[in-house]
Structure 1
């Protein structure tokens, strides 16, 4: 029997107070049991070994871009995307109780999650020295050192919030994926989204042909991204004119506004299978 929603054990990467924990609580309610994991792969393994029921991990940020590691892990593990959740990131400058902002010498944080998103704001506050670390909250325990982290971290670790809403751009949103051992059963009576990944043979018109299988069936694509195939980064080809050529072999990540219960979407993927060298459905889930 599946656990009740409020009894779910949800794995995330990071220490208690991380934004991923906040995303897990938003996705599954504040009463879920969160399970901190040191690495992204540890969170995948926690679900696979039933230490946790599900996991919430970041996929992309509106400022920092895609989280490449998690896309690669999706291909290596047999977990399914069963939903996604978007969290507005509100960075805070945290320090020990009594520390004044004018006395701060440096700030520490995760390089992609924080520094890439509020570098100019930190400069305006007079904090010139930054150090990239994994444990941002632990760094804030040092004297005269601040951490760029969440307000939840301030509550959990009894730190002062010296500045709130640190950001260089007005919109800072991270999209998280919800992962489970078993896929959910898709329906057609509600708006579903399906995430897939595929690769193609090299040649003119191959990507056009792949995207056409959806366009001809009036299936809207909400995301199309490409990245080098990690296990086969280079492909060798002979152009019959010179020496062998080497070029990147790419994977394409695509989100469809369609349910896998829809015969139209099923036919599109069957069509794609006819010429794709690789195809995997990562999940079909309700649009949020």
Structure 2
């Protein structure tokens, strides 16, 4: 079994992370005192099934239409990072995957192809492991971490991000502005409590503050001349969510990169991809990676 994703946005995010990792390792190679960790909070199985070829196949009644060919399977981010040998590999790799089947597949692929890499492949929750990473870095000052967080929906708690404050971490995070957060911001403002709770945990903000940022009161007159106060959702909430998350990251990190906007085949925004860091050189590298080749 492989992870199933599709579209150029998947390739774009992987290309950004790999390009940044190579530049990061080039700099860290000169810091002989430092050791490097690559942390992936949603590592997957190591392979991705590209469904684009299936979608373009008009033989819908073909019983073999769901069968994958070698060309349909490509390496995920975890294996692409492990492939980096120049300028140097990471000193330690820590892969987290909640799905046991995916975790076992990734463990198998690493054991077969990357025996020279020092890897930990654990079944667990990204939030707990981010807190564990923070504790490790506080106890081991020589380590610097590059983190890649590609979450399922709004599953990353703001408290887990806050745990990284003041540490030697460069954090790339895919923020689900269009595919999750915007969808729970219903048009009339009557957001169910369970969704509001999720937003509070995801953004680290109180529900009243969230509502003030994304809703406004509008006065309308009815046929009898009475004033009615209605609640309306603000326009362009997807980009406003991206801007808000970047602002929240700036309360944890000294610098936040520009966002790379990932869109689906209908040109709708799905994610804002950004990096938080405490290093101005890292900020420049991140923006240089995004700007010339990938920014929409």
Is the shorter-chain TM-score for this pair beyond 0.5, marking a shared fold?
A: no
Q: TM-score range by the shorter chain?
A: under 0.3
Query: Which has the larger share of strand?
Result: 1
Query: Which has the larger share of helix?
Result: 2
Q: Tell me the TM-score normalised to structure 1 length.
A: 0.25
- Larger relative CO (CA 8 A, sep 6+): 1 or 2? 1
